[in-house]
Amino acid sequence: MIGRIVGAVALLVLMTLVQLPVAATAQPQTAAAAEPPYRINPGDELEVLVWGEDRLQREVRVLPDGTFAFPLVGQVHAAGQLPSEVSQMITQGLKPQYRGPVPQVTVTVKEPSGYQFSVIGKVKSPGSFTPGHYVNALEALGAAGGPTEFAQVNDITILRKYGEQLRAIHLHVGAILKGDTSKLNQSDVPFIQSGDTIVVP
């Protein structure tokens, strides 16, 4: 019975931290990192506009290899790039087609469905999640229902892909789940990257 009460309290604290701004839960010198700019992932749906050129306006989905095809340019390598960087790539690819300046190219992420992560282990609702926006480690745990009663919340691991290699990032969130944010720093609640797997032992 006590274990269930403790587990319920931990989940309540987790949900509170997820919903409140970091500034309300931590001192300015220990605030979590700001949300990073969104980088394109395989599976994302993009909208490409070339101003004044209706024939070059497209909605495209980034293929699993991180590319998409665009008229007069060919294959564009978009994965891992900012939308502004993809705009520059398309502009460079279109230059041979124009005697003067290339019309303005705008790339926007219409549907960030390629941003996915998984939570496995001792959580209430393990699985894969596509939130549509960046989330931090606490928000990811909240999406999976929070840790179960016997989860080792000070031994959570994020498995992150770097090419063909995996890197382990260790989390210690026991104090945070108990409501203690006095020593919270930026590395305690990192943002989750697409493809991450969070393991809760």
Rounded Cα distance between 171 and 159, Å, is: 11
Residue that has been written with the tokens 């943002």 in this structure: 191
Question: Residue 187 is encoded by which pair of tokens?
Answer: 């590395």
What percentage of residues in the chain have a pLDDT greater than 70? 83
Q: What CATH number is given to the structural domain containing 87?
A: 3.30.1950.10
pTM across the whole model: 0.74
Do 76 and 145 sit in the same domain of this protein? Answer: no
In a domain, residue 131? The reply is yes
Rounded Cα distance between 92 and 7, Å, is: 55
* The pLDDT value given to residue 39: 94
In a domain, residue 170? The reply is yes
Rounded Cα distance between 167 and 21, Å, is: 29
Do 121 and 107 sit in the same domain of this protein? Answer: no
In a domain, residue 169? The reply is yes
Residue closest to 26 by CA, chosen among 180, 153, 135: 180
In a domain, residue 40? The reply is no
Counted domains in the chain = 2
Question: Residue 180 is encoded by which pair of tokens?
Answer: 């203690």
For 6, phi and psi rounded to 5 degrees?
A: -60, -45
Weakest mean pLDDT among 36-50, 81-95, 107-121, 180-194: 180-194
Over residues 36-54, the mean pLDDT reads 94
What are 113-168's pLDDT values in tens digits? Answer: 999 999 999 999 999 999 988 999 999 999 999 999 999 999 999 999 887 889 99
Question: Residue 133 is encoded by which pair of tokens?
Answer: 């926006």
Last residue of a domain, one of 83, 111, 139: 111
Do 130 and 173 sit in the same domain of this protein? Answer: yes
Do 193 and 119 sit in the same domain of this protein? Answer: yes
Last residue of a domain, one of 55, 82, 111: 111
Do 129 and 192 sit in the same domain of this protein? Answer: yes
Res. 179: pLDDT tops 90: no
Do 28 and 126 sit in the same domain of this protein? Answer: yes
Range of the domain at 53: 45-111
Do 191 and 138 sit in the same domain of this protein? Answer: yes
